[in-house]
A and B are shown apart, each in its own frame.
Chain A
């Protein structure tokens, strides 16, 4: 009898306890795995059916001290990847689309020259999104500012609102010269997409940064600014960087060093 009692007491408690222990172990394992999972995701991109997440913020560091005079590799890599005609080859250079451009600046007092690429700065508070009358201009969860060409009416308010002259309008029919991964067309505004097709594929880099590294300049670093272990975060911690027109308080995704 005395044997029976504790057994009958422990019997109902045991599955409960087992369940609790199981849950506790799973939670502990989840915590232990979570950082590893994050690293894996950052390195290899997210699953195909997973939406872009705000846990990531894509950004770029431009080291103007390493950007070479006369080098145009980032611009041509962008045009090849995204299928826009280089301005020099365009019939109408003044209205040719330009996703990224090289700037050469000179200090009028000291004659010091600075080289840097200028493109969409992927603001956290993008003025182009504020002014868009149709909602075509939008910021994706992972911080990439894009144009939804299905709703863009080509009014060009965003081009006027952008402090960086980053956007252009496609004026001419493109006659099926687009890349299958990069749809773009007449009557729509467009700009740098941080190579969103490459990011979604899991490349974790942009065409311009790849070209800059290939050329040996290493002036462009692309990565997740939210991940403290990413190369860009490490470099941003070490280098003094500036945002262009920081006075506008737009919290830019592109940071410049050496300007």
Chain B
């Protein structure tokens, strides 16, 4: 008798837990979508990338890696496919960087695709030259000090890893 009671109780508990989980699950994950979609901001400078958008989305690392080897080993520093030029056009207006904030150009897609970016362990994420000189900041030069303050806020390795993974 006691055994039967126990079994019933256990069954009840299981049913309740399952129901509760289902309910909680439906609350926590709205049906509308999974991970937040990447924000792809239009490049501040220029109209068209060096290749079609579709080609660049799939193959940007192929062209970057090829150009990287030519630059490092042979000293060929053409502008097309140069990472520096990517950054010059795509640095965000808010942070002045391609990888300082979650919505910045590189990080946005990479966090969606869960692909870690190693480039910026060594490469600067900000355009070359003094902030005021950069076309990106020509109109925003009046709050240059703000940009500079944001630019110096450091992205820690953990933070970067957290964003990327």
Instruction: Mark A residues whose CB is within 8 Å of B.
Output: 48-52, 138, 140-142, 146, 148-150, 173-176, 178-181, 183-186, 188, 196, 199-201
Q: Kindly state the separation between the CA atoms of A123 and B75 in the bound complex, as whole angstroms.
A: 18
Which applies to chain B's interface (DSSP): helix, strand, loop or mixed?
A: loop
CB-contact partner of B124 in A52, A146, A183, A200, under 8 A: A183
Shortest A146–chain B CB gap in Å is 7
Q: Which residues in window 68-88 of B have CB below 8 A to A?
A: 68, 70, 72-79, 84, 87
Q: Kindly state the separation between the CA atoms of A25 and B162 in the bound complex, as whole angstroms.
A: 67
Q: Is the CB of B156 within 8 A of A179?
A: no
User: Assuming A173-B157, A176-B97, A180-B126, is B120 touching A140 (CB within 8 A)?
Assistant: no
- Cβ contacts B20-47/A at 8 Å (1 or 0 each): 0000000000000000000000000000
Q: Kindly state the separation between the CA atoms of A138 and B74 in the bound complex, as whole angstroms.
A: 11
Q: Is the CB of B73 within 8 A of A140?
A: yes
Interface residues of B, count at CB 8 A: 27
4 additional contacts (CB under 8 A) given A140-B74, A141-B75, A185-B121:
A49-B78, A178-B123, A180-B87, A188-B122
CB-contact partner of B122 in A49, A52, A141, A178, under 8 A: A178
CB-contact partner of B121 in A138, A173, A200, under 8 A: A173
8 sampled A-B residue pairs with Cβ under 8 A: A48-B78, A140-B75, A142-B75, A148-B72, A150-B72, A176-B120, A180-B87, A180-B124
Q: What residues of chain B lie closer than 8 Å to A149, measured between beta carbons?
A: 122
Q: Is the CB of A176 within 8 A of B128?
A: no
Q: What residues of chain B lie closer than 8 Å to A179, measured between beta carbons?
A: 124
Shortest B102–chain A CB gap in Å is 15
Q: Is the CB of A200 within 8 A of B75?
A: yes
Q: Kindly state the separation between the CA atoms of A255 and B84 in the bound complex, as whole angstroms.
A: 34
B58 at interface by CB-CB < 8 Å: no
Q: Kindly state the separation between the CA atoms of A186 and B156 in the bound complex, as whole angstroms.
A: 13
Q: Kindly state the separation between the CA atoms of A150 and B77 in the bound complex, as whole angstroms.
A: 17
